[in-house]
Structure 1
Amino acid sequence: MAVFTGWLLIIIGLVVGAGGAWLLWLGGSAYYVPAGLGFLLTGALMVARRPGALWIYALLLLATGAWSVWEVGLDFWALVPRGAVILAIGLWLLLPFINRGLNGTGGQPWTLTAGPLAGTVVLAAALALLCWQRDPHDLQGALPGPRAPAPASDMEDGDWHAYGRTAQGQRYSPLDRITPDNASQLRKLWTYHTGDLRGDGDPTETTYEVTPLKVDDTLYLCTPHHRVIALDADTGKERWKYDPEIDRDISRQHQTCRGLSYFPGHRADDALENDGESALAASGAGLDEPPPSAEDRRCRRRLFLPTADGRLIALDPDDGRRCRQFGDHGAVDLWANMPHRQDGFYYSTSPPVVTEDRVIVGGAVNDNVSTTEPSGVIRAYDVDSGELLWNWDPGNPEQTAPIAEGETYSASTPNSWSVSSVDEELGLVFVPMGNQVPDQWGEDRNPAAARFSSSIVALELATGQVRWVFQTVHNDLWDMDVPAQPGLIDLTMGDGTVPALVAPTKQGDIYVLDRRTGEPLLPVKERPAPASLGYQTVAASQPASTLSLEPPPLRGRDMWGATLFDQLACRIQYHRLHYQGRYTPPSERGSLIYPGNFGVFNWGGLALDPRRQVAFASPSYLAFVSTLVPRDDATTNYVSDGKPGLGENHGAPYAVTLKPFLSPLGLPCQQPPWGYVAGLDLVSGEVVWQHRNGNVRDLAPVPLPFEMGVPDLGGPIITAGGVAFMSGSLDNTVRAYDLTSGETLWQDRLPAGGQATPMTYSDSQGRQRLLVVAGGHGSLGTRAGDAIIVYGLEQ
C-alpha cells in the first residue's frame, strides 16, 4: 500500500508542479512549484520505502500552513482548499498499514520517523479549529431606534396593496405582532399550490418571483405564466382564477410575473357607493346623467396584470373578469407603435405604477440578441379608459404627447424592466432604467438615449417630461441596469427632513438622492475607470457612492475551490483573463467582471424602515467572464443554439458569451462568502452590521449545510416589530432576522427555491401572517415548485 500511495503522490506532484509552473509563468503564486516537488519527493521516497518520506511531507504540510496564513489569514473557508487535501493525505500517511513498511527502518523508532508529521498534523488541526470559531468577514453593530413617527397612510395596517406594499417601494409593514422575542415560534399554517409549473417551450429563465397583494380579506397573485389567482387570506381557499392564455412556445428570454398592481377606485366612486345621488352631486356629476351601468359599478376597483405577450389587462378584484371599459375589452396592446415587432421580444415582467388617475408601465426586451430591438418607451394610460395619456421615449425624450397611429418609437433604447416608484405629492414617477442593448457593445448607440442608460429618471406624472436624471454607469458595457425599485423615504438630515430616494445598484453602490432634484444626499464621486482594451470606447470615469457594499478588487490569492486542484485551475484562469478591477471592458481574450451582471443587488432591492431610517440589504458576490466573439456576418449564430439567440448581437461586430466565473467542479472561483445580510444607516451612510447568510446544502455536490454565505435573488421586508424577513437565498430557506443586530431568529426549509420577496399581512382576527412564495428559479437551478406558504405564531 505504501508503494501505491507513493505513485499516487508522484502523479499529484506532477499535476501540481506542472500547473504551478504554468501559473508562475503567468505571473501568479510561486507556491505550487515547490509544493509539486514536495509531493514528488515524498512519493519517490514512499516507493523506495524510505522513512524520510514522512519528514518531507511534514515540511510540505508546515510550509503550506505558513503560506496559507500569510495569504489569507485565519479565514477558515479560504484555508480549506489550500490545506484540506494536504492534511487528509498527512492523516493517511500516519495510518499504520501505510507507514508500517517505513517505521523502524534502520532501527529508528516510530516517534522519530512519523512523529514530526504527527505533530504537524495536530498543529494544522488546531489551526483549523481556531479558524472555525471566528469569522473575519463578520461586522457586529446595532442599528439606531426610531428617529421619526410612523408615516400616515390611508391603507389598513394589515394590507399590502402594491409590490413594495405602497407605491413608495419601502417594503415596510406597520405590523408588530411578530417580534425578536417570539419570531422563533413561527409555524406553517397552510400551503396553496398554484399548479403552474415549468413545462415544454418555457425558457430557461422561468421563475416564480411574485409578491402577492392583500386587500381586505383577499390575497391576489400571479403565476409565471401570468395566471391570476385570488385566495381567502385566512384559509388559502381559492376564490377565482383568470388565465390570459400566454403562448408557452415563444422566443422570450424571461417567463415570470413579479406581481399585480391594485387600483382602489376613485374617492368619488366610494362616496357614490355609500351615499347614492347626493354623492353624485358632491363629485361634480350632473344629476340628470344616467346612473352607472352594472359594468361600471363592477370595475370601480381594479387589478392590473402585465403579460409576457405584451398586454396590460384590467381585472375586477371581486370575480377576476376583465374590465371591458379599459382599452380593448379589458386590455391595452403594449405592442402598439413598437418598432421591430417580433413575438417574445417585448414583454412586462414587473407590475406597473398605479396613481389616482393613471397606470404607468414599462417593459423588458431580450438582451443581446440584435441591434434592432423594440423600444424602451414608458407609457401612461388613463386608469379608467386605457387611453394613452403620454409616452416617454428615451430616444425622443422631449416629445411626450401620445404618438400618432402609424408612427413608431425609437428602437433599441434603454428599457425599464423593474418596478418604478411614485410620489404623487411631488407629481413624479421614478423609473429605474436598464442598459441600452446590446449590453456589452457600446458603439453607435443613440446619443439622445445614452444619458438615460443605467440611470434613475424622474418623470412628471402629468406630462411624462423629464424632471431629472441620475446616471449610475456611463456608457455601460457590463449589463449594469438599475435593477430594483427605488425606495422613497423621508430622512432627518442636518437641514431638517428631506424627501429622499434610495437606489441600490448591481455594482453595490447605494445612491441616496433628494427625490425633488436628483442631487446626492450622501457623497458621490467620479472615480477613474480602466482604459479601453482597443475594442470600443469606454468612459474615463464612473460614479461611486460613499454608501456602498461594493466588494474589494479580486486578487490571485482570492481564488477558491473545493480542493487544491480546482483552486489552482481558478488561479490560472484568473491570470489568463483581462482584469483591471471594476469596469474592466469586455474583450476577445475574456474579461473578468466583478461584480458580475448578476449584481450585488438585483430586482430584490432593499427594505427601508421609515421610522428608524435604516435599510436591510442582502448583497451577493459572484464574478462573471465576458468574452467578445468576432462576427463575420449579421445572421449566423456564433454563441447560441437555442431560442432566442441570446448573446448573438446580430448587427454588431461581436457576439458575447457571459458566464459565471466557476471552477472545474462548478463552484465559484472567488472565495466565500458569496452572500450576506447587512444593516445600513441611511442618515450617516454607514454599514452598521454585516453577516454571512445561507448555507451550501442545496448547491454543493455533497449536501452539507455549511454556513458559507450564499447569493440571494429575491428581496427582504421589514416590520414595525423589529423583524426582517427574506426567502431568496439559494439554500431554499426562509429566515427571520433581528433588524437591530442582523441575528437570525428563525428559519424554515422551503419545498422549492424562494426567489421572491415575501410579504406580511393580518388575517380577519388581526393575527399577523408571513407569506412566502416557493417556486424556484430556472437560471439559478433552484428546485422548481408552485407553493404559496403562510406562517403564523399559532399552531
Structure 2
Amino acid sequence: MAFTIRSPVFTAVRRRFFPFCLLFGLGLVGCQQDNDLRLYERGPISEASPDEEWRSYLGDKGFSHFSALSQIDTSNVSRLQEVWRYDAGGASENGATQMQCSAIVIEGILYCTSPLLHLFALNAATGEELWRFNPSSDFGLLPNPNRGVAYWQDYSDDATVAPEGVPRILFTAGSFLYAINARTGKPILAFGNDGKVDLHEGLSTRFSDEAINATTPGSVYKDLLIIGSRVNEFKGAAPGHIRAFDVLTGELRWVFHTIPQRGEYGADSWPAESLDTAGGANSWAGIAIDEDRGLAFVPTGSPSFDFYGDDRHGDNLFANSLIALNANTGERVWHYQFVRHDLWDRDLPSPPNLVTIERDGEIIPAVAQATKTGHFFVFHRETGEPLFPMLEVPVVGNGVPGERPAVSQPLPLAPPPFAAQQFVITDRNLAMAEAVRQRIDGLDQGNPFIAPSTNGMVLYPGMDGGAEWGGAAYDESEQRLYINSNEVPYLLQLTPVSKELGLGPQLGYLSLCAGCHGADMRGDGVSVPGLLQLSDRLSPLEAYNIVAKGRGRMPAFPQIPWYAKAAIVAYVYTADGKEELDIQEGGSPQADMAYLNAGFQKLTDPEGLPASKPPWGTLTAIDLEHADILWRIPLGDYPELLAQGESGYGSENYGGPIVTAGDLLFIAATPDQMLKAYNKHSGELLWQARLPAAGFATPVTYAVDGRQYLVVAAGGGKLGQSSGSSYVAFALPE
C-alpha cells in the first residue's frame, strides 16, 4: 500500500536536506566539506601574523577598531567588489530578529553567530561553513542580541596539549556561557557543566528566575574571561556584578560588586536598606584590557529603576562609572562616576578605548570613554586623573515626589562634544516645524540635566545617544578618535503607577504603547491618534488585530504573546474615563504610588522623522593631541526620504566604524543598507555598496594568503528595517 508522510517537521527536513542527500550520494559535496574540516582539525587554514587578523572583538583588547592592513587604500577602494556571501539563517520575516555580531578571524577562520545565536566557523577566504554549534532553541520570546565572541589559546612556551587546553571560542546565548572547541565546534566538556556555565553563578539565588545574559562578549586576560551582563531595568533587577571565569574549567575566580555590599567601598552612596535589593549598574558595552598593566576598564550602566530613585537616594556607586580593576583579582584601582544618581538612562553605552596622548613631549597612557551625551571623558590609565578640565553642570528641578536628584553632574570642557547639545526644531519645512512646536509647548527643555517629572521634557541627545554600543575607532599613529553619533530627541515623562503594578497590563501599555500614544493615551495631536473612547471607533477585535498585525506607522508586536496583547487592549478600553491621579510636583507621594517612564518616546515630526534640526546622525573625527574636531559629516539616510529623492540629513545608526592603515574608515550602521568607505583624513566618501539588509554591526577586516577582506553582518531588524541573516565579504579583484 502506498502512503505519504505529511508531518510538517518531516516536510521541512525533506525540503532542506534532500538536495544535499542527493549530492552526497553522487559524491559531489561530502568529500570537499570533510576535507575542509579535516584540514582545519590538523591546523590553521592560513598562517597569518596578528596584524593581518582580527583576533579580538573590535580588533584588539583595547578596542581600537584599527587594522594595520593597507592593501585596500584611498587609491583603489572604489574597486572593491563582493567576493562571498554567507547566509547564517534564522532571520525573522517580520523584522523581529537582529544580527549585531562583529566577527573575529584567527588562522584563516571567521567565527560569529546567527540571528538565533548559532555559533559557526567559516573559511574566511571563501565563506564556506566549517562547523556550526546550536546552543539551544529555547531563549524565551526571542534570543538576546549577540555582538561578538571571544577566543582563547595558550600562547605560552609550555602550552598544554590536553583536551581542556585546546583553542576555544567563548560566547553567550541565553543565560549561559559556552566554551566551544575552535577546531571542531564541539562543547569542551571539562568547562563548567558539560561545556557551559550558568550566568547566574555568583549572584544571589533570589535571581535564579531572572533572565541574565550578555550581549557583548567577555574579555580574555591570561586564563580568565572577564564579563559583564545584561539585566532588566525595572525594580527587582539583578545586580550587574563583574565576574571572572577560568577559561579552562569555568570556575568563578573573582567577583566585583558593582552595587557594593555592606562594608565595601561605595556602600555609603546607597541607603543601607537598598544594598540587598538594588539592581542594575551592569556592564553591557564591553570591558577593555590593558595587559601590560594588568588592568580591566569596566563601563557600567544605570541602577534600576532607570528614571525614578526613591529607593536609592545617594550617588549610587558604581553605577554610570568607569572602573579600573586589577584584572588578576578584581580589586578596584580607581573609578570615575559620570552620572550621579542617574535619572535619564545615561548608561555608559560604548566600550572604552585605550589611547595614548602626547603632551609636552611625554607619552601618556590614557583611556577614553564616550557617553550618550556626546562627550569623550579622557583619563590617565594608571591613576584615573582627568586629562582635560571638567565642569560641574547643575541639575535643574526637584523631580517627582520622593525623588532626591543629585546637585550637579560633571562634563568635560575638552575635547568638544561630538553630538549637538541644544535641541533645535526641525527646519525641513514650516508645517513640520509648527507641528513640533505645538507638540513640545510647555515641556521642560534647554538643560542637559533636568530632573524628570510628570510634566515631561525634551531629552537631547536622546536615550540612545550620542554614542551607542558601536563605540569609537582609534588611530594611534595620529592620535585620532572616530565615532558615529545619534542626534535624535526623546521625550521623557514620568507617570504615577501603583507600587503593586507588577508585570500587569498597565506596565505592558507603558512599555509598548506609551512611547507613541502617551501615558495619558491622548496621542501627540499631530500624527499619532489618541486612544481615549476607543470603543467609539473600533471593536475590541479590531483593536486586537491592529496590535497583532500593525497598521500604517504602527508596527506589529509578534514577540508578545496573544494573552499579553489582549490584556493591553482590555486595559485601554477600561481606562476610558478614569480619573487622573492628583499628585503635585514637589508634594508628598501616596504611600502606594511610584513613578514609571511613559515609554521610550522619540520626539518625531508628523512624518515620523526626528523632530530636531538635521543632521540626525553624524560621523566625527576628533584630534586628541589638540583636543579639537577634525571633521564632522552627516551619516546615513532614512529610506523613506531617499524614496522622495531627499538625502544628506543623516540617520540614527547602530554599529561602529573601523579605521585602517590604508587611510580608510569603513562603517555600515544606517537604515539605508549601505556599507561605506571614507577618507579618514577628510571625511570624503570614496565608496559604498548596498547590503542585503541594514548592517547594524561593526565591520571587520583581515588578510588571508595576502588578500585583504572586509566583512560585515547584514542583520537589519532595527529602525523599522526588515531582518536579514547574511555575512557579506568584499575584496579587491584578484
TM-score by length of 2: 0.77
Cα distance in 1, alignment partners of residues 592 and 149 from structure 2 = 36
Q: Equivalent of 2:149, from 256, 260, 264?
A: 260
Cα distance in 2, alignment partners of residues 372 and 581 from structure 1 = 31
| 1:434 aligned partner, one-letter code | G
- Unpaired runs of 5+ residues, structure 2, are 1-47, 265-274, 520-590
1:461 deviates by: 1.2
Cα distance in 2, alignment partners of residues 330 and 532 from structure 1 = 51
1:344 deviates by: 5.9
1:387 deviates by: 1.2
In the superposition, relative to structure 1, how do residues 364 and 645 fare at CA in structure 2: closer, same or farther (>3 Å)?
farther
The answer to whether the Cα contact below 8 Å between 1:729 and 1:755 also exists between their aligned partners in 2 is yes
Is residue 245 of structure 2 the alignment partner of residue 377 of structure 1? no
1:377 deviates by: 0.8
- Unpaired runs of 5+ residues, structure 1, are 1-153, 274-291, 401-407
Q: Equivalent of 2:486, from 616, 620, 636?
A: 620
Within 5 Å, give how 1:188-207 maps onto structure 2. Answer: 188-198=82-92, 206-207=97-98
Partner of 1:211: 102
| 2:154 aligned partner, one-letter code | G
Is residue 244 of structure 2 the alignment partner of residue 303 of structure 1? no
Cα distance in 2, alignment partners of residues 319 and 553 from structure 1 = 51
Cα distance in 1, alignment partners of residues 712 and 316 from structure 2 = 39
Is residue 610 of structure 2 the alignment partner of residue 668 of structure 1? yes
In the superposition, relative to structure 1, how do residues 634 and 164 fare at CA in structure 2: closer, same or farther (>3 Å)?
same
1:456 deviates by: 0.6
The answer to whether the Cα contact below 8 Å between 2:210 and 2:238 also exists between their aligned partners in 1 is no
Within 5 Å, give how 1:490-529 maps onto structure 2. Answer: 490-494=356-360, 496-529=362-395
Is residue 156 of structure 2 the alignment partner of residue 156 of structure 1? no
Cα distance in 2, alignment partners of residues 716 and 583 from structure 1 = 29
1:643 deviates by: 8.6
Partner of 2:288: 421
Partner of 1:187: 81
Q: Per the alignment, in what secondary structure is the counterpart of residue 700 of structure 1?
A: helix
Cα distance in 2, alignment partners of residues 740 and 561 from structure 1 = 30
Cα distance in 2, alignment partners of residues 664 and 499 from structure 1 = 48
Cα distance in 2, alignment partners of residues 610 and 651 from structure 1 = 55
User: For each residue in 1:472-492, what CA deviation from the matched residue of structure 2 results, as whole angstroms up to 9, or x when unmatched?
Assistant: 112211111001111112222
Which contiguous aligned blocks of 4+ residues in structure 1 show a shift greater than 6 angstroms?
642-648
Partner of 1:7: none
1:523 deviates by: 2.1
Partner of 1:686: 628
Q: Per the alignment, in what secondary structure is the counterpart of residue 709 of structure 1?
A: coil
User: For each residue in 1:545-576, what CA deviation from the matched residue of structure 2 results, as whole angstroms up to 9, or x when unmatched?
Assistant: 12132545546xx3227543332110111223
The answer to whether the Cα contact below 8 Å between 2:470 and 2:657 also exists between their aligned partners in 1 is yes
Cα distance in 1, alignment partners of residues 721 and 218 from structure 2 = 27
CA RMSD, 1 decimal: 2.6
Partner of 1:450: 316
Q: Equivalent of 2:508, from 640, 643, 649?
A: 640
Q: Equivalent of 1:389, from 220, 236, 253?
A: 253
Cα distance in 1, alignment partners of residues 426 and 469 from structure 2 = 28
| 2:500 aligned partner, one-letter code | A
Q: Per the alignment, in what secondary structure is the counterpart of residue 566 of structure 1?
A: helix
| 1:371 aligned partner, one-letter code | K
Cα distance in 1, alignment partners of residues 379 and 514 from structure 2 = 35
Cα distance in 1, alignment partners of residues 65 and 276 from structure 2 = 34
Q: Which has the higher helix share?
A: 1
The answer to whether the Cα contact below 8 Å between 2:641 and 2:647 also exists between their aligned partners in 1 is no
| 2:68 aligned partner, one-letter code | P
Residue identity (%): 31
User: For each residue in 1:635-659, what CA deviation from the matched residue of structure 2 results, as whole angstroms up to 9, or x when unmatched?
Assistant: 24424249999999x9970121220
1:455 deviates by: 1.2
The answer to whether the Cα contact below 8 Å between 1:441 and 1:652 also exists between their aligned partners in 2 is no
Q: Per the alignment, in what secondary structure is the counterpart of residue 346 of structure 1?
A: coil
Within 5 Å, give how 1:762-781 maps onto structure 2. Answer: 762-764=703-705, 766-778=706-718, 780-781=719-720
Is residue 679 of structure 2 the alignment partner of residue 738 of structure 1? yes
Within 5 Å, give how 1:285-304 maps onto structure 2. Answer: 292=162, 295-296=163-164, 299-304=165-170
1:226 deviates by: 1.8
The answer to whether the Cα contact below 8 Å between 1:672 and 1:708 also exists between their aligned partners in 2 is yes
In the superposition, relative to structure 1, how do residues 413 and 632 fare at CA in structure 2: closer, same or farther (>3 Å)?
closer
Q: Equivalent of 2:186, from 315, 321, 324?
A: 321
Q: Per the alignment, in what secondary structure is the counterpart of residue 405 of structure 2?
A: coil
The answer to whether the Cα contact below 8 Å between 2:202 and 2:255 also exists between their aligned partners in 1 is no
The answer to whether the Cα contact below 8 Å between 1:677 and 1:693 also exists between their aligned partners in 2 is yes
User: For each residue in 1:112-162, what CA deviation from the matched residue of structure 2 results, as whole angstroms up to 9, or x when unmatched?
Assistant: xxxxxxxxxxxxxxxxxxxxxxxxxxxxxxxxxxxxxxxxxx952211111
In the superposition, relative to structure 1, how do residues 652 and 343 fare at CA in structure 2: closer, same or farther (>3 Å)?
farther
The answer to whether the Cα contact below 8 Å between 1:699 and 1:731 also exists between their aligned partners in 2 is no
Cα distance in 2, alignment partners of residues 695 and 633 from structure 1 = 42
In the superposition, relative to structure 1, how do residues 501 and 716 fare at CA in structure 2: closer, same or farther (>3 Å)?
same
Partner of 1:17: none
Cα distance in 2, alignment partners of residues 501 and 638 from structure 1 = 43
TM-score by length of 1: 0.71
1:522 deviates by: 2.1
Partner of 1:794: 733
Partner of 2:61: 167
Is residue 195 of structure 2 the alignment partner of residue 330 of structure 1? yes
Q: Equivalent of 2:307, from 432, 436, 440?
A: 440
